[in-house]
Amino acid sequence: MIRQFELVEMVRAYNPNADEALLNRAYVYGARAHAAQKRASGEPYFGHPLEVAAILTGLKLDDATIVTALLHDTIEDTAATYAEITDLFGQEIAELVDGVTKLNKLELVNREAEQAENFRKLLLAMSRDVRVLLVKLADRTHNMRTIEALRPEKRARIARETMDIFAPLAGRMGMQRMREELEDLAFEVLNPEARTSIMRRFLKLRKETGDLIPRIKAAIEEALYEVGVPADVIGREKKPYSIWRKMEEKRIGFSQLSDIYGFRVITRDIPSCYAALGAVHTAMRVVPERMKDYISGPKSNGYRSLHTTVYGPAASRVEIQIRTREMHEVAETGVAAHWAYKEGRRSENPFAVDPFRWLSDLVERMEKGDQPKEFLEQVKLDMFHDQVFCFTPKGDVYGLPRGATPIDFAYAIHTRIGDSCVGAKVDGQRVPLWTRLRNGQSVEIIRVESSRPSPVWMDMAATGRARAAIRRALREDEREEHVRLGREIARLAFERRKLDGGEKALVSGARKLGFGSVEGLLAALGAAEITGRRLVAAVYPGMVESEEPAPEDASDRPHRLVLGAPPGLPFAFAECCEPIPGERVVGIRTGRGVEAHCIDCAALVAHEEHPERWVDLRWDEDAAQLGGRSASIDVTLANQAGALGAVATLIGEHRANIENISTLARMPDFWRLRVSVTVRDVKHMSAILSALEAQAIVTDVRRTRLPAPLPKAEGPKADVKAEAGPARRDLSA
């Protein structure tokens, strides 16, 4: 266990002006608080806070962070209180300790909704002071180093949380050294066989070729010496997890893997970086298209370096990173460089791009009210990506994840530009919005101020920022449409009963139904959260029958669409005929409850001689506004480019949702498709069929009855089989 004077000397080594009394006081307080506690391994508990503090001294952090590391478990695991820490060590340290304590209580790998909400809390705590994250990452690193003492199921949970959350967070904060260690420690727990296999391959490779690292290092140093560039060269084998991930992504074996060796050339200034690059390229054969310049275009986490891949001794492919000493420190320690000390002074801001800006942007998005599950999706998109760099026509550069499209580029510039995007030019050529961008391309966004995002953009966008903005815009548009539709439903509901439904009536209805505004009432009406009859009953009580609230077990009236089913019996719509509002329906009692069929459903033949099973049903008068019903359409269309898109667009323009599309037949000149759509009623279905029938690319379209297994009917007609096939129907029935 690290002794008191040793810890103080570790801090004074990089900060001679450290507050020795404060460090000593924290050491003694932490040792006493944890005196009676043991870790799962049986070792004294206080050894853990000491090791966390030691990890942070390696990052050369300030006194407050080191003291926080010593005390980070006191409030959670001992009798210490926030007030006591404040009195003894000050407000700043107390808030840091409290922040780490709150993070320790969050379960980040559990049910998805809870995980998302807890991750929001994690980011909020970090955003107030990034040192909370630094202590937490150091805490997690030491816990992973000593994870063997835990139960297997707990080891797996902590390792998964580390791989999914903390390692990517460290990488996104620019802390590459810590990210690599966390990934490899978690990999050893989650997939020990794979890690062992890779280590064995390394041993075999060394036996076959010898230790290549000294030979490659000597070749690079000789190339630099020839041109007079002073530099330090560091070589290493890549981490097992990094190699395994590359094998998985490229679906190749270890023997096919290139560049398993990584070298860093550390120079004194930026001109020396480019001189070193030229020297390496002159002395060794370059692997084409593997050169990346992150000095002129830094990554979004502040990383700067030149990357190139060359063929070294024994035909080995070698990745070389060339950077200055300052760039190297930022690449290794990331956001921790903000708080690092050099010769007793805080370092000046070393970032070309501050990784903490990403965190600030996330918090800003949280405050706009994104749903937790959606927010977690955005964060994971932002944390797991390789980058490409593209330019605006004015020369501004934006980093985007690999696979990003012009939509992502537009939203990276500004939300307003993304919302009004209608097209893009890449390197001067007009391209579709789904085009994948490549490094170094110039992108010009074509805008129309009145334009709005399309739902299909969600499938094109690769960044969390773009998806969040698109989702928000679609919600706004949907609300506007619901308000418009709700106003029309309210007008018809009042007119049908010859009652005044003016603005005053709507204000009264909003108040009585608990809505804060008329707009909120209309939006709920348009979204089928309430019905027109309920609104009228609220405004004119006694003049129209009020709706009773649906019982908790509403199986007797699913979706509140159909009336007449016996209460207490399970109810379902038949899958064979897919009845929709406006069609005559009848119920059949079965052993499973009541099943609703269209009056002309072929399956009813089996029940003709059992009239006692038949139940008279009718649609609720507001059924068309209470949510759509699925129906199937068979479409035969020309097998040509854009045909399917035209059909989908036409259905979408009729505000019908496509639930599923399946191919029935595909011939050289035509397709036969089965399209499952959600429609309001028979009029809605008739309009869609008429519109499709009018298309030149459509040769045939019809409403389809889907075959479905039916319960065997009792009695003399039990063996009659229902014919459930496609047939044109009179949809005005």
DSSP label at residue 398: E
Tokens 């899958």, located at residue: 575
Indicate if 77 belongs to the active site: yes
The residue type found at 249 is E
Phi, psi (deg, nearest 5) at residue 125: -65, -40
Please report the sign of the dihedral spanned by the C-alpha atoms of residue 617, residue 618, residue 622, residue 625: positive
Using CA atoms, how far apart are residues 577 and 667, in angstroms rounded to an integer?
A: 28
Under 8 Å between Cβ of 294 and 306:
yes
Q: Which two tokens stand for residue 191?
A: 């997939």
H or E element: which one contains 424? strand 421-426
What are residue 633's DSSP bridge partners?
Answer: 675, 703
Using CA atoms, how far apart are residues 533 and 509, in angstroms rounded to an integer?
A: 11
Instruction: Give ∠ CA 278-281-286 in degrees, rounded to 5.
Output: 145
Indicate if 76 belongs to the active site: yes
**Backbone dihedral region for residue 559 (phi beyond 0: left; psi -120 to 50: alpha; all else: beta):** left
Using CA atoms, how far apart are residues 301 and 321, in angstroms rounded to an integer?
A: 17
Q: Which residue in the list 19, 20, 76, 600 is annotated as catalytic?
A: 76
H or E element: which one contains 571? strand 571-573
Q: Which residue in the list 19, 20, 77, 326 is annotated as catalytic?
A: 77
Using CA atoms, how far apart are residues 574 and 587, in angstroms rounded to an integer?
A: 9
Q: Which two tokens stand for residue 493?
A: 């509901």
Q: Of 123, 118, 68, whose CA–CA distance to 96 is shortest? A: 68
Using CA atoms, how far apart are residues 114 and 51, in angstroms rounded to an integer?
A: 31
- 3-class state of residue 295 by DSSP: coil
Using CA atoms, how far apart are residues 507 and 505, in angstroms rounded to an integer?
A: 5
Using CA atoms, how far apart are residues 26 and 85, in angstroms rounded to an integer?
A: 10
Catalytic residue annotation: 76-77
